Chain A
Amino acid sequence: MRGGDGMLRVEELRITQGDFALSAAFEVLRGRRVAVIGPSGAGKSTLLNALGGYIDIAAGRIEVDGQDVTNAPPDRRGIAMLFQDGNLFPHLTLAQNVGLGIRPALRLSEAETDRVMDALGRVGLRDFADRKPGDVSGGQQSRAALARVLVQAKPLLLLDEPFAALGPALRAEMLDLTSEVARDAGATVLMITHAPEDAERSADDLIFVDGGRAEAPRPVAEVMANPPEALRAYLGR
């Protein structure tokens, strides 16, 4: 039986890498958009990589959509993730890149190809399907990566600052698009951000990572209205 309406449940998670250690225990509700914020080196990326199954964890349990995925490989955790870079293979066309999200093969059925084209259309790239990533702009690359996440149709989406290299206007646009896409798909989103305005714009809740610990999520407005000491120091307020 699923515990309440929790989408992601992290139990007594502990990650150690050399001298660095991070612990976390929290739950994220279905459909929420959660910003992960904290100083550089606090372990935001490490946390997301651990949730995604890309790095070892020392202890703990991770549950996605009611399933224990602690030991599952990255593609079988119900999680899609966008990284800072390397979200597209440069030698494949945008359509092929998106297609990999449906099936890790290059030959797709007609129905699957239709899904790829729909996803590309959703992010405004239908006419760019046969281009390679090197031939389109940075913003269009981000859109293509988002289209791939869309066809992956996972209930949980992790964003490790995939839009960090974009300008402020484009970044805001991409965050809005991501929110829309996630809402349509009913997906829950965890996104790392450095900018509090991004959190206020695109997130419902906020996880603050600092001092070797990831706090449980609290509503953004509430936290921002009365930030705890460490967060205030980080925000410079």
Chain B
Amino acid sequence: MARRAQPVSPWVGIIAAGFIVAVVIAAFVGISQRIESTTGLRAAEWQAVRFTVWQAFLSALISMLLAVPVARALARRRVPGHTLLVTLLGAPFILPVIVAVLGLLAIFGRNGWLNTGLDLLGLPDVSIYGAHGVVLAHVFFNMPLATRLILQGWQSVPSEQFRMVGQLGLSPRMVFRIIEWPILRQVVPGAFALIFVICLTSFAVALTLGGGPRATTIELAIYQAFKFDFDLGRAAVLSLLQLAVAGAAAVLALWILPPIALQTGRDRVVRRWDVPSPWGDTFWITLAAGFLLLPLLSIALSGLVGLFYMPLSVLTATWTTIWVACVSTAVLLVLALPMAAWLAQAKWGGAEALTLLGLVASPLMIGTGWFILIYPYVSPTAFALPVTALINAMMALPFAVRILLPPMRQVFTDYGRLTMGVGLRGVMLWRIVLAPRLRPQIGFAAGLTAALSVGDLGVVALFADPDVATLPLQMYRLMGAYRTEAASGAALVLVTLAFGMFWICDAWGRRHVAS
């Protein structure tokens, strides 16, 4: 019997997926070597698990509660700078965590704008450090993401429906019930799940704003067991916990995760007749804009001053960061493109779950496992940068595959038979058909990976010795040494680098867009 013909051989994709699985299993083997029957779970570990789940839940909940009214306001009202604001909603996703933290500190920190204001009013100071600071930072990152996802849902409502509403003279309450509620019910669970899973593996935020028994995530606990106590057994147990928690969540979330489209902020306001007084919407838009823009503004202002205080180490770290990001992006494309080609032709939809391994197996869990494997033989610090580049690529993989998959499916649907008919195969098929047709998505995915890699402060903190640093790590060290000006300067360099690399890749993708 003839096998169904397929334009692209699935084997390269399957090998790529196998490679990912192998990396995770190797880490798992490393971890299990260190788990002894005597390493029981102590109260501190349970505390970390509880806090991790609790803060992720709270972050997702608050993000959604804020995002719904903001998205609703943006969907039905055009304000000055509307397009810019919708575009900026995409920014936190690629904003380096450590930069955002510095920006939040400038607003909410001890000497920040908020406390200065409170002092003037004679009110007591608030502190950003602790559990609420962690949640605040997570909301800063994820509320815009949630807003964009909901906005997309809202914009998918055909404008005819709103015209019908105008014709029937329905009250806002009825509009909510008939149009808005069904959309929310579709979008909100997926967005909530995505944010929850992202926050479960939070490390850099907890490292900078959390800590202590009441605000330590599992990831942070791994790092502390490693760096402060060099207790590999405990790090291993914690890694296993992280895997279990994130794995369970990801399996549950898999079925409701939203697709990540290229055209996220399509800026379209449908003319509507059901809008009540503008004050509510204006309030929400102003609040969101302020929350998003003030920290970014403060980074720009203090960064410009700080540029003059930067030590030479920042330059070295910048160079390191650039090449780590380039390697990450290359690795990502080598993995993601064949995997997307395989998945686009696969009958078994569950294969996509493999890419989620990148989210489930957290950076520090993989890092711990590989450290345990490597260090009896060679100094792990020698592998700090390659391991960082690889893990960064793996973290971006779920997003990249979700970006590439829909257009890849489309190409096979539209041109699969034509490619087979003229015998396009292998490299030629990629060069002549797939690369040109997917160019915008390849550029977008590459840009996303480069930016995420540039901003990553994770496994590199585990492996690096004092001589080696990526820019986020160098910035963290400067902050730890209270060299705030220098850190601000580094932050500006870092954010420029992240957005710059994203822009270069994305612009490459959009140039000569295939007709």
A binding-site residues for B, Cβ under 8 Å: 49, 52-59, 70-71, 73-76, 80-81, 83, 85-92, 100-101, 104-106, 132, 134, 148, 152
B2 interfacial by beta-carbon distance below 8 Å: yes
Give complex CA distance A75, B424 in Å. Answer: 9
| CB–CB B423/A54 < 8 A | no
| CB–CB B423/A81 < 8 A | no
Within 8 A of A (CB), among B411-429: 414-415, 417-418, 420-425, 428-429
Q: Which residues of B contact A85 (CB under 8 A)?
A: 414
Q: Which of B129-137, B213-221, B431-439 contacts A (4 or more CB under 8 A)?
A: B431-439
B514 interfacial by beta-carbon distance below 8 Å: yes
Select which of B415, B420, B431 is within 8 A of A73 by beta carbon: B420
| CB–CB A86/B421 < 8 A | no
| CB–CB A57/B1 < 8 A | yes
| CB–CB B417/A90 < 8 A | no
Q: Which residues of B contact A83 (CB under 8 A)?
A: 417-418
| CB–CB A91/B417 < 8 A | no
| CB–CB B425/A104 < 8 A | yes
| Residues A104 and B424 in contact in the complex (CB < 8 Å), given A53-B5, A71-B2, A74-B5 | yes
Q: Which residues of B contact A106 (CB under 8 A)?
A: 431-432
| Residues A86 and B415 in contact in the complex (CB < 8 Å), given A56-B3, A91-B514, A100-B432 | yes
B75 to A: closest C-beta gap in Å: 33
Q: Which residues of B contact A90 (CB under 8 A)?
A: 514-515
B451 to A: closest C-beta gap in Å: 27
Select which of B2, B415, B418, B432 is within 8 A of A57 by beta carbon: B2
Give complex CA distance A100, B429 in Å. Answer: 11
Q: Which residues of A contact B420 (CB under 8 A)?
A: 53-54, 73-75
| Residues A70 and B424 in contact in the complex (CB < 8 Å), given A83-B417, A86-B417, A91-B514 | no
Give complex CA distance A164, B418 in Å. Answer: 18
B4 interfacial by beta-carbon distance below 8 Å: yes
A interface footprint on B251-262 (CB within 8 Å = 1, 0 otherwise)? 000000000000
Select which of A55, A56, A80, A132 is within 8 A of B421 by beta carbon: A80
| CB–CB A53/B2 < 8 A | yes
Q: Which residues of A contact B437 (CB under 8 A)?
A: 89, 91
Give complex CA distance A83, B432 in Å. Answer: 20
Q: Which residues of A contact B414 (CB under 8 A)?
A: 85-86
| CB–CB B422/A101 < 8 A | yes
| Residues A75 and B421 in contact in the complex (CB < 8 Å), given A89-B415, A91-B436 | yes
Q: Which residues of B contact A152 (CB under 8 A)?
A: 422
Give complex CA distance A70, B414 in Å. Answer: 24
Give complex CA distance A132, B513 in Å. Answer: 13
Q: Which residue of B lies closest to A160 (CB)?
A: B417
| CB–CB A70/B5 < 8 A | no
| Residues A76 and B417 in contact in the complex (CB < 8 Å), given A56-B3, A56-B4 | no
Q: Which residues of A contact B5 (CB under 8 A)?
A: 53-55, 73-74
Q: Which residues of A contact B428 (CB under 8 A)?
A: 104-105
| CB–CB B423/A89 < 8 A | no
Q: Which residues of A contact B4 (CB under 8 A)?
A: 55-56
| CB–CB B2/A87 < 8 A | no
Q: Which residue of A lies closest to B437 (CB)?
A: A91
A73 to B: closest C-beta gap in Å: 6
| CB–CB A91/B515 < 8 A | yes
Give complex CA distance A148, B421 in Å. Answer: 11
Q: Quick one: which of A49, A90, A152 has the most chain B CB within 10 A?
A: A90
B511 to A: closest C-beta gap in Å: 13
- A sample of 13 inter-chain contacts (CB < 8 A) reads A55-B5, A56-B3, A73-B420, A75-B420, A83-B418, A85-B414, A86-B418, A90-B514, A91-B436, A91-B437, A104-B423, A104-B424, A148-B422
Give complex CA distance A152, B420 in Å. Answer: 13
Give complex CA distance A125, B161 in Å. Answer: 46
Q: Which residue of A lies closest to B417 (CB)?
A: A54
A44 to B: closest C-beta gap in Å: 16
| CB–CB A73/B418 < 8 A | no
Q: Which residues of B contact A132 (CB under 8 A)?
A: 515
A54 to B: closest C-beta gap in Å: 5
Give complex CA distance A91, B431 in Å. Answer: 12
Select which of A56, A57, A59, A74 is within 8 A of B417 by beta carbon: A74
Give complex CA distance A83, B436 in Å. Answer: 22
B74 to A: closest C-beta gap in Å: 34
Q: Which residues of A contact B422 (CB under 8 A)?
A: 75, 100-101, 104, 148, 152
A61 to B: closest C-beta gap in Å: 11
Give complex CA distance A89, B422 in Å. Answer: 12
| CB–CB A75/B417 < 8 A | no
Sorted from nearest, which 6 A-B pairs have the closest CB atoms? Answer: A75-B423, A91-B514, A74-B420, A104-B424, A134-B515, A100-B422
Give complex CA distance A105, B427 in Å. Answer: 10
| Residues A81 and B3 in contact in the complex (CB < 8 Å), given A75-B423, A91-B436, A105-B428 | no
Within 8 A of A (CB), among B90-134: none
Give complex CA distance A74, B425 in Å. Answer: 12
Q: Which residue of B lies closest to A76 (CB)?
A: B423
| CB–CB A81/B432 < 8 A | no
B512 to A: closest C-beta gap in Å: 9
| CB–CB B418/A56 < 8 A | no
A128 to B: closest C-beta gap in Å: 15
Given contacts A53-B2, A56-B3, 14 further A-B contacts (CB under 8 A): A54-B420, A56-B4, A57-B1, A75-B421, A80-B421, A88-B418, A89-B418, A91-B437, A91-B514, A105-B428, A106-B431, A106-B432, A134-B515, A148-B422
Q: Which residue of B lies closest to A54 (CB)?
A: B417
Q: Which residues of B contact A104 (CB under 8 A)?
A: 422-425, 428-429, 432
Q: Which residues of B contact A55 (CB under 8 A)?
A: 4-5
Give complex CA distance A103, B428 in Å. Answer: 10
Give complex CA distance A53, B2 in Å. Answer: 9
| CB–CB A70/B2 < 8 A | yes
